[in-house]
Amino acid sequence: DMVVRSPGRINLIGEHTDYNKGLVLPAAINRYVYLGLGEREDDQVFLYAEKYKERLQVDLGALERSRTHWANYILGVIAQFKNKGHSVGGLNICIMGDIPDGAGLSSSAALECATAYAINALFNHQLVRKELAFIGQRAEHEYVGVNCGIMDQFSSILGKKDQAILLDCKTITYNYVPLETPGYEILLLDTGVKHALASSAYNDRQASCQQGVSWVEERYPQVDSLRDISLAQLRECVYEKDHAIYQKCKYVVQENLRVERAAAALKNRDVKSLGDILFTAHWALSKEYEVSCRELDFLVGFAEDSPKVAGSRMMGGGFGGCTINLVESGCAEEFAREAAALYEKEFNRELTSMQVEIVDGTEII
């Protein structure tokens, strides 16, 4: 028997760059998915999700996608182990957690990573953490049908206390950057909205980026992704053809540069510079990449006007979810209260806030 916990994540900066083979700067946070697992004598898997009060029984010999959505994150991971020729026996699995759904904190990746880590340990497969992250990603592609990048699984399973992960999604190489923000703490504000556009817009943006790359490729055959492309090449090959696609691609190229600058600011413990980069990144997401919404823009605008906040931006895919804010130490509660009062007045909606700490990745407890 075993209990595993796997954290959610924030992403300081590097939004919509992961599927463009770009740079991201995530970190694991103290909100978790917990899995309690017990081995069985047979080849049945019994799942129980505490949050939904739902149960499911699955035969390992006839593994397939389930109509029960949450179960696919676990079944997809089991399928990946079996596809690789790694044995998986019968299990009782209970799922609990405190990562809010739909806030863009990657509860799904945390569930995949907890499952992969537990199966790896229980059945002694000796895969390294990086391989387990890929298992989680492929599970999401094949069983959930979401074509996610690798960032979320990576952050959950490879997170380190008080460190951000500077991850290169082209080479899948990474290094840790101390996430110290002297005099400031990290506060998330959850809009509580998820506009319906989110999934279709995500696919549209991917298509725009791919189109931009293929136009540049016609003239520069060596390029493979926006990671290899300069602003000058975009201007030369894309600008005249389609201004909207040019804008989307330009955003990604510039966001990669912002990630590098943000990592340098963190290394220098320069919160002011880091904050300025976050604000710039937000308005680029809003005006150029066009994945923000009124609620997110309202909160970042309010943060910009507050002397207590060094930086703020929308976080995640967009059209809702959270803003991440660097707020003066000791002022987070007051700032959250002020923001919530104005937000409720403007949108007639409750704003929830969450102070987060940076923690270690998936572990047995």
Return all residues near 132 (Cβ < 8 A) that are at least 6 apart. 113, 116, 117, 120, 153, 157, 362
Residue 284 sits at φ, ψ, to 5 deg, of -70, -40
3-class state of residue 204 by DSSP: helix
Scored b (16 or more CB within 10 A) or e, 68-91 reads: eebbbbbbbbbbbbeeeebebebb
152 is catalytic: yes
CB 351 within 8 A of CB 191: yes
Q: Where are the alpha helices (DSSP H) in 46-196?
A: 71-83, 107-122, 129-139, 151-158
Helix (H) or strand (E) holding 303: helix 294-305
Residue spans of beta strands (DSSP E) within 183-304:
184-194
| Residue tagged 């760059």 (tokens) | 17
**From the candidates 18, 43, 98, 152, which is the catalytic residue?**
152
User: Which residues have a catalytic role annotated?
Assistant: 152
